[in-house]
Structure 1
Amino acid sequence: MARAQAPTKHMVYLPMVSVPAPRNPFGFDLSIYSSGDVLKYGLETQPRWARAGDVLWPKVEPVRGAGYDWSSLVYVESNIRRLRAAGIEPTLIIQQSPSWAQQVGGRLCSPPKPEVLDDFANYVYALVKRYSSGDLQVNYWEFWNEPDARPQDTLDEHGIGCWADPSKADYGGSYYGQVLQRISPMIKAANPNAKVIAGALIYGLVSDTSDKPHISELFLDGMLASGAGKSFDALSFHAYGEYGANSMLVAKAIRVRAQLAKYQLSDKPIYSTELAAMCAGWVEAECTPTYNDWLYTQANYAARIYAEALALKLDGAFWYSLSGTNPGFRFSHLIDDTNGRLVPRPAYYAFMNSSHLLSGAEYIGPPLTELAPDQLEKVQMLKFKKPTSTLYVLWVPRIDSARPDTIYRIPVLRGAKAYCVQTLNKADSWKTPYECTDTNSDGLINIAVNSNPFYVEVPN
């Protein structure tokens, strides 16, 4: 009788599967006049990219047909080079019209008039070609800055657009879309790697009248109805502060996506190229309840806003701005620059610590929705997956300082270890979490939550 042989063992080699890390959307606006020390602070926040400056057509071609004078861009070019050297992706803004090209006479913020669009397209091609390779390469081009403003609502020195035409039902959005369709092929021809960012829209949420949508909504509808959907790679908007129980970022992103969906553009990437917490006005007394208290309110916002950006799956989220001299843009900057003396605010450290804690994180919770007013004093929680852990970010949008913290219970495996960071407004607090393990093995981690965001990391 033959003996049965043991089955032959074969080694099976499975292909290695590499799962790309979630793309980091974080960035900031870096002034062309910022010192190298400011950039060093910026690098600590692990940015993907930065807005490197504005390219102003009136400076480059003040006289029609007389050629292009690139000398006005010397500081912009220096900014591009240092960002590239630091491994940060630069973005630029194309805006303003010279006097001979203005549809709104006497206004730099004006759109170019129809009869000069060939001139404008040729200028854009030359511009993008100039910055298409080497240490001056720019692959992301934003088309104007807040074009959905009306001429009467802004001054030229504010650095925003004034395309919104009150005489038009769509406030000039369709014309913006037509110009976008005219220049987008020129950008792509000059640099096949270039991405066109439409906007950046103010995208106001509160209409002047109750019987019709906000100007921005009508403007965007006009732009999309013009057929411009294939002429831009991403849509950008600006979002400052809060809107009820929501951050303005969440409220605007949800509504922008809803408008895009009406035109079968649900998958179009969206950016917020300016976001921040800012004061109500331009003097410290308007930062409530006091300026020093407000600095910590700003820090609480900074500690959670990038978690919300990740949860919204934004491709870009830029703080405006990294540094500034008070009041800057209503005190929104992260680092105070007083005659070259740099003092990082609590918000800078919150921004920096959150970027490290969220590194490699992917949101795995339900899609974000606009919060009802009754959520203002209730705990909000975002859940993320990291390569070796699960991360929870918790906060209460607004809480009376006299009211006790709200206890929130995170369900975990019995006895699970956990590590917590709450004081994000201190230097390098991401490096020194404290243990907040389920020590009584009841399958719950109890967290006392207030408006100061809490990060809880549970290892796999």
Structure 2
Amino acid sequence: MKHTNNTHPKIGLTLLFCVAMIGVFISSSLPVQSQPTESTGGTADAITYLPLVQNRVDGSLGIPIFGLQMYGTTSDSSKYHSYLLESDASWLRVEISWATAEPTQESPPVYNWTSIDNGLAAARADMGGLNIVATINRAPSWAVVEEETGPVKPDNLEDFANFMGALVERYDGDGTDDAPGSPVVLYWEMYNEPDSNTDKSDPDFLPPVSWGDYGEEYAYMLEEIYPAVKAANPAAQVVFGGIAYDFLKSNGGKFVDSFLTDVLDEGGGDYFDVMNFHSYPAFYPRWTTNQGSGLLQKANAIRNVLVSYGLDKPMIVTETGWHDNNASGPIIPGSQQIQARYVVELFTQGMAADLDIVIWWLLYDIGGSYPYDAGLVTNADTPVEKLAFQVYQDVVGELSTTHFERTLSNTETGNSLMEVHQFNDNVLERTLYVAWLNRVDTTATSSLRIPASSANVKNSITGNEFMVSDGNDGVIDGHITVTVGADPLFIEVEK
């Protein structure tokens, strides 16, 4: 059953989710959108969908972290809409454009909402009621320093704030100046990879706006729009643009090493609610020596930067993923199996890193000149589900009822390349271990000993399940032994 949360947001307070039939209450520290649905009497009633759980309750569970990226319309007119709903994702990231809404400067401003309403349609109850992260990613040419790629001009920051206020008001669900269906969007991401510094001689790398060398200006932009967002909806969350924080200029790349600290040095930390970054396994050598994806270690490094500035912010990832084709470039080739393995590993690490949202980039293959088929489904006229799509659904089912407990040490695993994360599940009354051997394409195996009398083991990629009992290794000692390889395993121990 789809996990959709449709309660009214209260920032900083526990959120309650109620299903009267079974008396289940679920709470979260995250703001959650409110979605009206049409009843037979024509009134708007709130409806919440939760897993059907009888007599097993964990009131501390929040919104599952699992998200996907789409472009363009997210309504049921999209050929990908049914796959979005079938994925069981709770979150959707969508790019929207200020330039499209306000192509010309007028006084008072005139906004064309059509494109944005189409892009954010999946927030509507009748279109899925997903929690959306909306990425503001393009500014009008009249408002930027340099056409296409420059930051917003200081004289036009007020125009930007006015636009943001009108946008957030349109998606606050209060019945005043609302988008059709009164959908609610709470998470507003201020640009995609703003740490980029575009080399205009490289036509393959032209982000919509480059703030990389303008960290001070980015901080001023946040300071200008933050009050406007909060005035429109106090529960709205201003999200730092997802920084690449890899492929840095100091190493011949495109992203400015000091962008984050440049913003924080100018006091920008007071004007965003949620920290955000991107993480792709191609860059794992910068973050980890265990040959894993690096997402967990990168999250910890960025969190440490925030702490050094006295900041304690929720953190999310708005892009991570892998491809299934053998496009040249990354140090690890793609295949359906490798892509599916990364689905398990990246979301597991996201939970281990205490991230509130993790977005897989993206739901479908983007096609065109882009060489990497990173979607969970193809972009055919009738899209085809990949192995990774099925594994995504399974990961949602396995982890949505759990809390991360700890990562096992090398001493416990007996192998520095083995990664094992332990989860507690009060709903299904089990302890769940997710275990794999790095690198993602390794052919090696290694033995893992876990204290248990028995366990059900499921291969997350093949779906094969088998029981392991104490004594299967020839010794009855209160432990089971499981052979771990590149395919992540779900090891379930009853409490």
Q: 461, 469, 483: which one pairs with 1:425?
A: 461
Give the aligned partner of residue 150 of structure 2.
110
Distance verdict in 2 for CA 1:209–1:296, change over 3 Å: closer
Give the aligned partner of residue 163 of structure 2.
123
Distance verdict in 2 for CA 1:142–1:417, change over 3 Å: same
Q: Distance in 1 between matches of 2:378 and 2:119?
A: 22
Q: 382, 386, 389: which one pairs with 1:341?
A: 382
Q: Distance in 2 between matches of 1:225 and 1:290?
A: 37
Q: Distance in 2 between matches of 1:257 and 1:288?
A: 26
Give the aligned partner of residue 182 of structure 1.
224
Residue pairs, 1:164-243, within 5 angstroms: 164-165=212-213, 172-204=214-246, 206=248, 208-209=250-251, 215-242=255-282, 243=284
Residue pairs, 1:274-423, within 5 angstroms: 274-278=319-323, 284-286=326-328, 294-326=335-367, 330-338=372-380, 340-366=381-407, 375=416, 378-387=417-426, 388-398=429-439, 404-412=444-452, 416-422=453-459
Q: 91, 94, 99: which one pairs with 2:136?
A: 94
The question of 1:268 aligning with 2:313 is answered yes
Q: Distance in 2 between matches of 1:270 and 1:358?
A: 19
Shift of residue 30 of structure 1?
A: 2.6
Contact 2:243/2:277 (<8 A) preserved = yes
Q: Distance in 2 between matches of 1:182 and 1:322?
A: 33
Contact 1:237/1:273 (<8 A) preserved = yes
SS in 1 for 2:305: helix
Q: 470, 486, 491: which one pairs with 1:438?
A: 470
Distance verdict in 2 for CA 1:194–1:368, change over 3 Å: farther
Distance verdict in 2 for CA 1:301–1:145, change over 3 Å: same
**Structure 1 residue ranges (4+ consecutive) displaced by more than 6 angstroms after TM superposition:** 287-291
Contact 2:434/2:491 (<8 A) preserved = yes
Give the aligned partner of residue 53 of structure 2.
none
Give the aligned partner of residue 147 of structure 1.
194
Shift of residue 381 of structure 1?
A: 0.8
Shift of residue 436 of structure 1?
A: 2.1
Contact 1:250/1:308 (<8 A) preserved = yes
Shift of residue 325 of structure 1?
A: 4.6
SS in 2 for 1:151: coil
> TM-score scaled to structure 2, two decimals?
0.76
Distance verdict in 2 for CA 1:56–1:23, change over 3 Å: closer
Unmatched segments (≥5 aa) in structure 1: 1-16, 166-171
Shift of residue 247 of structure 1?
A: 1.2
Shift of residue 446 of structure 1?
A: 1.2
Give the aligned partner of residue 298 of structure 2.
252
1:19-65 Cα distance to aligned partner (Å, 9 max, x none): 412542111113334666633333344322111x2221221112112
1:98-151 Cα distance to aligned partner (Å, 9 max, x none): 1211112x22x3211111111111111112112221533211111111111113
Identity rate of aligned residues, in percent? 29
Residue pairs, 1:52-91, within 5 angstroms: 53-65=94-106, 67-81=110-124, 85-91=127-133
Q: Distance in 1 between matches of 2:235 and 2:399?
A: 28
Contact 1:306/1:355 (<8 A) preserved = no
Shift of residue 155 of structure 1?
A: 5.4
The question of 1:456 aligning with 2:456 is answered no
Distance verdict in 2 for CA 1:425–1:164, change over 3 Å: same
Distance verdict in 2 for CA 1:400–1:343, change over 3 Å: closer
> What is the aligned residue count?
412
Unmatched segments (≥5 aa) in structure 2: 1-56, 174-180, 286-290
Contact 1:334/1:347 (<8 A) preserved = yes
SS in 2 for 1:364: strand
SS in 1 for 2:194: coil
**Amino acid paired to 2:89:** P
**Amino acid paired to 1:275:** T
Shift of residue 183 of structure 1?
A: 0.3
1:267-304 Cα distance to aligned partner (Å, 9 max, x none): 2111100110137xxx845388997x622111111122
Shift of residue 75 of structure 1?
A: 2.1
Computed over aligned residues only, the root mean square deviation of the Cα atoms, in angstroms, reads: 3.1
**Greater shift after overlay, 64-73 or 309-318?**
64-73
**Amino acid paired to 1:193:** A
Give the aligned partner of residue 13 of structure 1.
none
Distance verdict in 2 for CA 1:438–1:80, change over 3 Å: same
SS in 2 for 1:343: coil
**Greater shift after overlay, 134-143 or 252-261?**
134-143
**Amino acid paired to 1:345:** K
Give the aligned partner of residue 8 of structure 1.
none
Residue pairs, 1:24-35, within 5 angstroms: 24-33=64-73
Shift of residue 389 of structure 1?
A: 0.8
> TM-score scaled to structure 1, two decimals?
0.81
Shift of residue 316 of structure 1?
A: 0.8
Distance verdict in 2 for CA 1:285–1:317, change over 3 Å: closer
1:375-411 Cα distance to aligned partner (Å, 9 max, x none): 4xx211111111111111111112776x552111112
Distance verdict in 2 for CA 1:400–1:352, change over 3 Å: closer
Contact 1:418/1:457 (<8 A) preserved = yes
**Amino acid paired to 2:432:** L
